[in-house]
Amino acid sequence: MDMPYHINENVIFLPSSDSIIESERLATMCEVEIIREYLNYPLIPYNEIIKIDKIAILNFHPVERKHLGIIRYGQFRAFDPVEFYECKDPKLDYEDADQVSPAIIISNGMKYRTPQVLWYPLSDVVSGIQIKQSLVLKTTGYLSKLLPIEVFIDDKNQWMVRLFNLVGMNILEKL
């Protein structure tokens, strides 16, 4: 049974039983094991239509909007310094000591990793989904799930606009 976490009078976070089980599993792993597992997932399939069933953000609390303190960017660089490039501009790029929250797209039971440029916007989407679902629950008494959604994963990442529209700019602007 899902246990609600009352954040304030406007937000009730309802983690799924799957996310509770996954959180417990990840809690038994070290940073390197989590990163190795993440990097073994295939990259999201570009130029294909997929059904996004869930979006998971590692090392991140979606309602409190903070890192959990277990995954650093430098560890990704240690595994693949080409994909996870060195910081050129601290205002735009991750530095080795920065906490990061990698995003996983789950489609038809398959887990896909995402490019690092999408990690932050996808964390906003996940937070926005939680807030919107909570607001709908509060006003209607019904839990309305926003996912799954079918999207075409284009190579310019315009598919993210579908997710932003799903949540609503009025919610995303407040994050």
3-state secondary structure of 9: coil
Instruction: Express each pLDDT in 111-165 by its tens digit.
Output: 999 999 999 999 999 989 888 888 887 788 777 789 999 999 999 999 999 999 9
CA–CA dist 60, 77 (Å, integer): 20
Total tally of structural domains belonging to the chain: 1
The separation between CA 44 and the C-alpha centre of its own chain, rounded to angstroms, equals 13
**pLDDT surpasses 60 at 12:** no
Q: How confident is the model at residue 65 (pLDDT cuts 50, 70, 90)?
A: confident
- What band does 39 get if pLDDT is binned at 50, 70 and 90? very high
Output the CA–CA distances (angstroms, integers) from residue 169 to 97, 150, 157, in the order listed: 31, 20, 18
Residues 59 and 75: their CA atoms lie apart, in Å, by 14
> What range does the domain containing 51 cover?
5-172
pLDDT of residue 4: 45
Enter the pTM of the model.
0.86
Distances (CA, A) of 83 to 25, 39, 80, 103, 114: 27, 11, 6, 15, 11
